[in-house]
Structure 1
Amino acid sequence: MLNVPRRTDELYDRVKRVIPPVEWELFADDVDAILALKRRRNAVILAHNYQTPEIFHCVADIVGDSLALARKAAETEADVIVLAGVHFMAETAKLLNPEKTVLIPDLEAGCSLAESVTADDVRLMRRRFPDVPVVTYVNTSAAVKAESDICCTSGNARAVVESLGVPRVIMLPDEYLAKNIAAETDVEIIAWQGHCEVHERFMPADIRELREANPGVIVLAHPECPPEVVAEADFSGSTAAMSDYVGREKPQRVVLMTECSMSDNVAVAHPDVEFVRPCNLCPHMKRITLANIRSALEGNQHEVTIDPELAGRARRAVERMLAI
C-alpha cells in the first residue's frame, strides 16, 4: 500500500477492492480534511447510492436510496447537512430540516426527471383530471411537490398509490416507473412522460447479450427502466431493494441495471459476488466530488433555500409519504 496518512488507512481497507492505491493517494487528503470539518461544524453527509465509493464508504454518515435519505434527514441532530447527491435531494433534506443549514456541493447537480415536469404541468394535469390525486416521485423540485398530494420513491411507490384508496391516480414524472407500478396494482395510473437519462438507455437486448456472455448471471433492474427491461430481469426494485437482494440471495454473478457506482458500492460488502458492470453514468451525480464536499464545508457553499410558503406545502406531501 502507498504511504497514505494513517488516519485514512482503515477507510482505505473498506474500498481497496474498488479503488486502486494510486487513486486513493489522490483522495486521502480530502478525506482527512472532510472528517475534521464534520467534527468542527457538527455536520453530517448524506450520500445517495450512486455516489462514488470514496464518498459513499469513506466520508458519508448516512447512505441509501431516496427514501432512506429522506427518513434519515428528518431525524438528524446535526447543525449542517451536506447532500452528496442531486439538487432535488438537497431540497427534500431542507424541507424536512427547515432550521438547519443544508448544502449541496455543486449547484449544477440536477436530474433529468426533475427537469421534465414543472408546477404549471401539475396544475394542468389537475384541470384535465379533476379530483384525481397526484402522486409525485421525490425526483422533482420543491415547487412540483408543493402542487402534489403525496410523494413516493421507487421503493414505496406501490404502497403510496394503494394507500390512497382511490381507483386511479396521476403519477409523475417517470413514465416507466408509473407503468411498472401499474403492472403490479389494480389502481389505474395516469402517467407523465418524463424519463431518467440513465435508466431509459437500458434495452432488453442488453440483458440478452449479458446473459449470453455471462451464463447464470442474475439481472436486477431499477423500476425506472422501461417495462420491457423489467420484464426481462430476474428482479426489479429500488437501489435499496437491489442491495438487499444481493445480501439475501448472494448470487454468484449479478448485474445491476442502474447507475455505474451502485455496483462498486454494493461490491464492497460482498467480496464473494461477481458484479458484471454495464455502465450507464449519471453525469449529475458525478458532479459531486470529495473536493467540492470539502469546499462546501469550508465555505458554507452552496446553501439550499426554499420559499417558506412553498416549502410548507411541499413538506406536507413528503411527510404524508413518510407517514405510510
Structure 2
Amino acid sequence: MVSAAPFVPANLPLPDLYARVSHHIPPMEWPILAGDIEAILALKRDHNAVILAHNYQTPEIFHTVADIVGDSLALAREAAATDADIIVVAGVHFMAETAKLLNPNKTVLIPDSAAGCSLAESITAEDVRQLRARHPGVPVVTYVNTSAAVKAESDVCCTSGNAKKVIESLGVPRVIMLPDEFLAQNTAAQVPGIEIITWAGHCEVHELFTADDIRSVRESYPGVVVLAHPEAPPEVVAEADFAGSTAGMVDFVGEKRPARVALVTECSMSDNVAVQYPEVEFVRPCNLCPHMKQITLPKIRRALEQRQYEVTIDPALAERARVAVERMLAVR
C-alpha cells in the first residue's frame, strides 16, 4: 500500500519542510516550531555552520535543520570531512567530543551541556588503565560511546556498525572491548575464536528490552519483522530477525521494504525512518533516551546565536584520543 501525499494546509510557513514531518506534528504546532527553524537556517548560512543529528533526534530536528544525519560512525566520518567553520552536534556529549577530536581547529557546539550518556558514564580512564594492568598486552577496543579521556587510553575505537571489522582487523586472539557488555557479547558471537573481555556498562535505553517484549510484539502484530540494536541483551538479539546499528536498520528497511517492522531501539528512530518509507507500518516497542531529548530546536538556535556550550578538550589528551578514532575510521 502506498501512503497518500501529506496534507499541508494553506498558509503554513515553510510548507516543504512541514510536508516531511506532517505525520508527526499537528498543523497547529508547526508555526511555533517554524520560527526557530527559520532562524536556525539563517544562522547556518550566516556563520558557515552545519548541524549533525543522530538518528535518535526528534523529527522536527532530524528532517528540517540537520545537514548530516546518521549513526555514530556516519557522523564521525562526516565530521572529519566537513568544511564548515562551526559544527553543532544534535546528539549527546561524547558525539560532540568526537566531532571536536576530528576538527580541532573548528568551533564545535552542543546545544545542551547536560546531554550525557549512561553508557559513557559507566567507565573512566582509570578503569581502562586498571584493565590494561590486569591484562598486559591485550589491545583495548573502545566503543565511541565514551569520553575523550577513555578514548585516549584505548588502542582503537569502534561503533556498533563496525565492531566486528575493527576486532578482526587487529589479528589477535584476545581483546578488551569497552564499555557496553551486551555489544561485546553480541560481537563475540560473530568472531568465534577471539576471546572478548567485557565491561559491565549498559545503555539505559536498550538494556530495558527483554525477549518477552519481542515475543509479545510478534503475537500482537502477526508477520512483523523485528530489528534489534546490538546494545540490547543477547537474548533480545536472538529473538530478532536482524541486529545492527541504526544505519544498518535503515538500510534493512530500505532494501527489504517489509510491510510491518519493529525497530527495537530509541523511539525517534522509528519516527524518522517512517518519514522516508511511509508505505511501511512501524510498530514501536521503544524506549526514550532522556539525554537525546535534551536537544531541542530553541537550544540549537541559542547555541548558534550565542556560541553556547563550546566543546573543548585538552590538546595532549585529544591527540591520544584522536589516534583511536582515526584508526577506527581507517577500517573499511
Instruction: Tell me which interval the TM-score lies in, with the shorter structure as reference length.
Output: over 0.9
Q: Which amino acid aligns with 1:293?
A: I
Aligned counterpart for 1:287 among listed residues 287, 294, 318: 294
Aligned counterpart for 1:210 among listed residues 217, 239, 245: 217
Give the percent of matched residue pairs that are identical in Structure 1 and Structure 2: 75
Contact 1:2 1:25 in 2 (8 A): no
Residue 252 of structure 1 aligns with which residue?
A: 259
Aligned counterpart for 2:81 among listed residues 47, 50, 75: 75
**What is the CA–CA distance in structure 2 between the aligned matches of 1:296 and 1:85, rounded to whole Å?**
13
Structure 2 residues not aligned, in runs of 5+: 1-8
Q: Does 1:17 align with 2:23?
A: yes
Show CA shifts across 1:163-194 (max 9, x none).
00000100000000000000010211000000
Residue 61 of structure 1 aligns with which residue?
A: 67
Structure 1 residues not aligned, in runs of 5+: none
Q: Please give the TM-score of this superposition, normalised by the length of structure 1.
A: 0.98
Deviation at 1:2, TM superposition (A): 6.2
**What is the CA–CA distance in structure 2 between the aligned matches of 1:80 and 1:284, rounded to whole Å?**
22
Secondary structure in 2 matching 1:159: helix
Contact 2:263 2:286 in 1 (8 A): no
Q: Which amino acid aligns with 1:107?
A: S
Show CA shifts across 1:227-258 (max 9, x none).
00000000000000000000000000000000
Aligned counterpart for 1:87 among listed residues 86, 89, 93: 93
Residue 182 of structure 1 aligns with which residue?
A: 188
Deviation at 1:20, TM superposition (A): 1.9
**What is the CA–CA distance in structure 1 between the aligned matches of 2:32 and 2:38, rounded to whole Å?**
12
**What is the CA–CA distance in structure 1 between the aligned matches of 2:328 and 2:301, rounded to whole Å?**
32
**What is the CA–CA distance in structure 2 between the aligned matches of 1:303 and 1:2, rounded to whole Å?**
40
Deviation at 1:4, TM superposition (A): 2.8
**What is the CA–CA distance in structure 1 between the aligned matches of 2:73 and 2:187, rounded to whole Å?**
17
**What is the CA–CA distance in structure 2 between the aligned matches of 1:280 and 1:307, rounded to whole Å?**
35
Deviation at 1:203, TM superposition (A): 0.3
Q: Does 1:155 align with 2:157?
A: no
**What is the CA–CA distance in structure 1 between the aligned matches of 2:201 and 2:50, rounded to whole Å?**
32
Residue 100 of structure 1 aligns with which residue?
A: 106
**What is the CA–CA distance in structure 2 between the aligned matches of 1:220 and 1:323, rounded to whole Å?**
28
Secondary structure in 2 matching 1:45: strand
Deviation at 1:22, TM superposition (A): 2.1
Aligned counterpart for 2:237 among listed residues 206, 226, 230: 230
Q: Which amino acid aligns with 2:218?
A: R
Contact 1:106 1:287 in 2 (8 A): yes
Contact 1:4 1:28 in 2 (8 A): no
Count of residue pairs brought into register by the alignment:
322
Deviation at 1:279, TM superposition (A): 2.6
Secondary structure in 1 matching 2:145: coil
Show CA shifts across 1:34-71 (max 9, x none).
00000000000000000000100100000000000000
Q: Does 1:164 align with 2:175?
A: no
**What is the CA–CA distance in structure 2 between the aligned matches of 1:145 and 1:138, rounded to whole Å?**
8
Aligned counterpart for 1:200 among listed residues 196, 207, 210: 207
Residue 4 of structure 1 aligns with which residue?
A: 12
Q: Does 1:266 align with 2:273?
A: yes
Deviation at 1:23, TM superposition (A): 2.4
Q: Please give the TM-score of this superposition, normalised by the length of structure 2.
A: 0.96
